[in-house]
Amino acid sequence: MHKVSKRLVIGLLALASMTGINALAQDKVKMGLFISSSAMPYFIAKERGYFAAENLDVEGIPLATHPLIVQGLVKGDLDAASNLLSLEGANINALRPNTLKYFSLNCQNKKYQVEAYVVPVNSPIKTLQELKGKRIMSAPGPGNLFVAKGVLKAVGLDEKDYQMQEQQMSVHVGAMQANQFDAAYTVEPLVTIMVAQGIARRLETGLIATHMLGRDDACAVLAGGVMSNKFMDEKPQVAERLARAWARALKDGNTDPKARELLAKHMNTAPAIAPIVPLSYYNMVKDLKPEEINDFQKLVDQGVAYGLVNKKIDVKSMIKSF
């Protein structure tokens, strides 16, 4: 009987192969993307077949700001997001507990550079303190503005000491090239693109770890991969398969330099520049060290004090291990 069953299975698989029919239809997942280097795991998993290997059809939906990603997760239009700002995630969970959970977190600091203040290449400005009285452009959204201002506060500047405007990422290079601003708080790969094109130079990198967490090597968790609680509750097996594919992508992002080639394909990065674009260090939640979770908590606590996060929240309540 066992042999007959085995032959039957083999025959059905052969028939499916010959007729082009998939034995199992792929489960669809809608994932929000904020296009920056921290969205890399999505493109790695998509391009290298890690989603397909888990029988998943993951649709990446680019959105211009993190609040739009949160809105999509709350409404059920999105199941997950590749790189939601941690402070946006903390705030929605404070307002609506159990809206979403981070299953991966990105560490950025002086070694794993993502965010930077840049100035025009010929600017005389040498330090962050010299941004007093200047016109500054910031990456968009409340979370990015909080960090851009929080770094300057840490070096002694009040909000009244400068002018800051948030701008969509798509205009950062052009705005700096046109000298519309004296400085910009921006993220990779735009930082490397500006520097390579001779438009700007790095004023300082690893800002959050150094100035807001107090250590150059701190784990500044500004973004990470999330799934909505609704998605995880309704499709727990799909969520587990998504996490398995994601873990493979994170490993490649951390260890395979060729993964950076996807920056050229998906983020308007010249092929010659892509290999030198810095990336954050990607962690599945299950691999986080206690001090990295503490760093995450410290940043969120600052968001609470600033008023960006509605009330105090334990970050352990908004992370999930797979």
Domains 26-109+219-318 and 115-205 share a fold: yes
* CA 243/CA 247 separation, integer angstroms: 6
* CA 317/CA 294 separation, integer angstroms: 13
Q: Tell me the pLDDT band of 19, cut-offs 50, 70 and 90.
A: very low
Provide the 10 A C-beta neighbour count for residue 252.
20
Output the pTM of the full model. 0.85
Q: Which CATH architecture has domain 115-205?
A: 3-Layer(aba) Sandwich (3.40)
Residue 14 pLDDT greater than 90, yes or no:
no
pLDDT of amino acid 22: 47
pLDDT of amino acid 21: 38
pLDDT of amino acid 17: 42
pLDDT tens digits for range 109-168: 999 999 999 999 999 999 999 999 999 999 998 889 999 999 999 999 999 999 999 999
pLDDT tens digits for range 48-83: 999 999 999 999 999 989 999 999 999 999 999 999
**Domain range list for the chain:** 26-109+219-318, 115-205
* CA 11/CA 221 separation, integer angstroms: 50
H helical segments located in the chain: 2-19, 40-47, 50-53, 66-75, 86-95, 142-154, 172-177, 190-196, 207, 229-234, 236-255, 261-266, 290-306
Q: What proportion of the chain, given as a percentage, has pLDDT over 70?
A: 93
pLDDT of amino acid 23: 52
142 vs 138, 150, 261, CA distance in Å?
10, 12, 30
The dotted CATH code for 26-109+219-318 is 3.40.190.10
